[in-house]
Amino acid sequence: MKKLFITTLISFILFSSKLYAIDTKAEQAIVMDFDTNEILFEKNSNIKTPPASMTKIMTVYAAFDRLKNTDLSIENECIVSAKAYKMGGSRTFLEIDDKVSIDELLKGIIIQSGNDASVALAECLAGTEDDFAKLMNVYAKKIGMINSNFLNSSGWPEDDHYSTVYDLALLSNAVIRDFPALYLYFSDKEFTYNGINQPNRNKLLSSVQGADGLKTGFTRASGWGIAATAKRDDRRITAVINGTNSSRSRLNEASNLINWAFSQTSQKLLVDENQIIVEVDVWLGNKPRVNLVSSKKIVSTLSFDQIQLIKSSLEYNRPIEAPISKGEVYGKLLIDINGKPNIEVELIAQESVGSINPISKVFAAMKYLIFGSSLDE
């Protein structure tokens, strides 16, 4: 038996379009493909910075989880405390001792970025904002946000309150994935409470095709930031930036990154599950050959440059000695894409192949050595 290495070049005929260089004025940025979880662009994406009001995405995540998995209803009411009422910054304009529904608090948090609404909801769900922050960190760990620590529900500046744009992208995608029905709150463009109407601070909802969330943020320490997402046809892109120098710059930088991702990258099916990859001779089997098929489906988000030249190679023994079991691994497909980690796909037998009887083995072995085939077709 010998191990065979076959190298091929997979080429795609495309119109002449090249991936242009992309950059951003934001201090930190990340662009992710929602379906494949691939990072399309990043800049200082794991630097810990104040998340400002993007913190509220986690506050909302915790509330959504309670609404989905407990008896809590959006009609349940919460009483506004003095602490919530006294919160500065962006507000929903709650009044002390107001009875406010979960529904109204969520709209106040998501649309108006109300710090008062964030504290009121936190106290309603956990008793105190400190205890709610502990719950936020439990969720963060579950989602995989290893560089985040939350001390409050609003994003009010505190020394040890931090996150990264990468972690916030994970959180944003988790909200969309885990709570698709409740996520619709993020696309509401205005909300009126206490006679005061406020527009959604996420201006991308009106300026970027397919935008339907998520949340802006600003503190002096962090600059202007936003966790944003848009869906066009069946594809969703998530972008998080922080550290721009104005609300206009935040809008422009986020728009540019999202539009770039849609126009200059695309999802490609590299190999389908159970796709026949190679037909291999069988040694001393009751069938002369067996198909090796892909064990899984591989979809990758690629730039047009990456698509044009994709290198692949096969590794397997030739011939494969019988008996062969259906579904067992007998080789692997290696896919090499510039700028991405190598992809390895196990190749499995499409069907079982039994051994021939001992008397036939001698003749089959001689036939294979002379003619290169173990049995007549």
- In this model, does residue 7 exceed pLDDT 60? no
Is 53 marked active-site? yes
- In this model, does residue 366 exceed pLDDT 50? yes
Q: Spot the catalytic one: 45, 53, 90, 172.
A: 53
Query: Which of 284, 336, 345 is closest to 315 using CA atoms?
Result: 345
Angle between helices 115-126 and 129-143 (to 10 degrees): 90
Q: Which residue has the higher pLDDT, 71 or 19?
A: 71
Q: Which residue has the higher pLDDT, 373 or 98?
A: 98
Q: Spot the catalytic one: 45, 113, 222, 294.
A: 113
Domains of the chain: 2-13+269-371 (2.60.410.10), 28-244 (3.40.710.10)
Stretch 69-92: mean pLDDT, rounded? 97
Q: Spot the catalytic one: 56, 107, 203, 215.
A: 56
Stretch 248-253: mean pLDDT, rounded? 96
Q: pLDDT, tens digit, for every residue of 302-319?
A: 887 788 888 899 999 889
- In this model, does residue 6 exceed pLDDT 60? no
Is 56 marked active-site? yes
- In this model, does residue 275 exceed pLDDT 50? yes
Residues with Cβ within 8 Å of 288's Cβ and at least 6 positions away in sequence, in order, are: 281, 282, 373, 374, 375, 376, 377
Query: Which of 255, 253, 267 is closest to 211 using CA atoms?
Result: 255
Residues with Cβ within 8 Å of 246's Cβ and at least 6 positions away in sequence, in order, are: 224
The pLDDT of residue 338 is 83
Q: pLDDT, tens digit, for every residue of 187-218?
A: 999 999 999 999 999 999 999 999 999 999 99
The pLDDT of residue 89 is 95
- In this model, does residue 375 exceed pLDDT 60? no
The pLDDT of residue 367 is 63
359: pLDDT confidence band, cut at 50, 70 and 90? low
Around 213, how many Cα atoms within 13 Å sit in the side-chain half-sphere?
27
Sheet holding 235-244, edge to edge: 39-43, 28-33, 235-244, 223-232, 211-219
The pLDDT of residue 306 is 81
The pLDDT of residue 3 is 55
- In this model, does residue 182 exceed pLDDT 70? yes
Cis before 204? omega within 30: no
The pLDDT of residue 374 is 46
The pLDDT of residue 341 is 85
Residues of 195-234 as b/e, b for ≥16 C-beta within 10 angstroms?
eeebebbbbbbeebeebbbbbbbbbeebbbbbbbbbbeee
CB 270 within 8 A of CB 343: yes
